[in-house]
Structure 1
Amino acid sequence: MTILARLKTETRAAHDRIEAAMDLDRRIASRDCYRDLLIRFYGFHKAWEEEAAGRVPDRDFFERRRKTQLLVQDLGALGLKSEDIIRLPQCRPLMSLSGPEAVLGSMYVVEGSTLGGAIIAREVENRLGFTAETGCAYFRSYGRDIAAMWKSFGTVLLEASSPEADDLIVESAQKTFDVMHDWLCETP
């Protein structure tokens, strides 16, 4: 079983748990609810990117996948000022990202969420009228390149795979789902 297949199998319950708890209909029911959802995503990504940046196996690969700036753009489009965004709460404590394998396992969750983001983007556009330029850049993060970005991530993950690394990768993905669930689904 490849590491990608193993991750999909072993994190299925955590994936389903966060998807059920998100209550997306409520979270995109109004401009304010949507803004609050983006604030929670910002708090997660800001903290996660700062932690992961120092431990990534390939800096350029990681930099192209950062989402915080897209969230800043969206929050600005929704009326938050830069000084307000800087003061937003961040997700603490994070899961331990002790090395490249842990970062890759965690990235599996973060990168996987971009696939679901494309579906969410369509719902946000239909319900609220936001586009990538007017408040939905985060959910449209890779635009038409979403499949290529996922494929390139999978290639890097497969290259990093080994019997020793795989357990760490899966453990990190599971912990990331737990932290993301607790952060995104708690009432701020």
Structure 2
Amino acid sequence: MTLLERLKIETRPAHDRIELAMDLERRIASRDGYRSLLIRFYGFHSAWEQAASNLAPDRDFFERRRKTRLLAKDLSALGLSDDEIIRLPQCAPLMPMPSPAAMLGSMYVVEGSTLGGAVIAREVERNLGLGPETGCAYFKSYGRDIAVMWKQFGTKLLEASSPEADDVIVEAAQKTFDVMHDWLCEGP
């Protein structure tokens, strides 16, 4: 079994738990609910990117995948000022990422959520009429390159795979799902 297959199997319960608890249908039914959801995502990604940036095994690879700027763009389009965005609550404490392998395990969750974001983007567009320039840049983050970006991430993850690293990577992914669940699902 490859590391990607193992991650998919071993994180499935955590993935299903967060998907059920988020109640996306309700949260993207109104602009206020959607804005509140983006605020929670901003708080998670801002804290995660700060923690992960120093551990990224490939800086350029990591930088192309940052989401905070897209969330700030969306929140601005939905009426928040730059000062309000900067003062938004941050997800803390974030799970410890003691190594590049742990960072990649955590990134598996973050990158995987981008795949789901493409589906959410269609619903946001249908329900609220928002596109990448009007408040849905985050969920459309990679646009038509989503499959390519996921494949590149999978390649990077498999390059890091080893008997020692795999347990660290899987454990970090599971912890990231837990932190993400607690942070995203506690808000309105």
Q: Normalising TM by the smaller chain, what interval?
A: over 0.9
Question: 1 CA distance for matches of 2:20 and 2:31?
Answer: 21
Identical counterparts, % of pairs: 77
TM-fit CA distance, 1:87: 0.3
Question: 2 CA distance for matches of 1:80 and 1:64?
Answer: 25
In structure 2, the partner of 1:109 is 109
Contact 2:74–2:137, Cα closer than 8 Å, also in 1 = yes
**Is there any run of 5+ residues in structure 2 with no aligned partner, and where?**
none
**Residues 15-47 of structure 1: CA distance to partner in whole angstroms, max 9, x if unpaired?**
000000010111001000000000000000000
In structure 2, the partner of 1:139 is 139
Alignment-mate amino acid for residue 160 of structure 2: A
TM-fit CA distance, 1:187: 2.6
**For 1:29-178, what aligned pairs fall within 5 Å after superposition?**
29-178=29-178
Question: 2 CA distance for matches of 1:56 and 1:97?
Answer: 11
Two-structure CA RMSD over aligned residues (Å): 0.5
Contact 2:121–2:140, Cα closer than 8 Å, also in 1 = yes
Alignment-mate amino acid for residue 20 of structure 1: L
In structure 2, the partner of 1:182 is 182
Question: 2 CA distance for matches of 1:99 and 1:141?
Answer: 26
Question: 2 CA distance for matches of 1:140 and 1:25?
Answer: 17
Question: 2 CA distance for matches of 1:118 and 1:100?
Answer: 27
TM-fit CA distance, 1:51: 0.4
The number of residues matched between the two structures is: 188
TM-fit CA distance, 1:65: 0.2
Alignment-mate amino acid for residue 177 of structure 1: F
TM-fit CA distance, 1:117: 0.1
Question: 1 CA distance for matches of 2:84 and 2:94?
Answer: 22
Alignment-mate amino acid for residue 124 of structure 1: V
**In structure 2, the residue corresponding to 1:11 is in which secondary structure?**
helix
Alignment-mate amino acid for residue 100 of structure 2: P
TM-score (norm 2): 0.99
**In structure 2, the residue corresponding to 1:139 is in which secondary structure?**
coil
TM-fit CA distance, 1:145: 0.1
In structure 2, the partner of 1:14 is 14
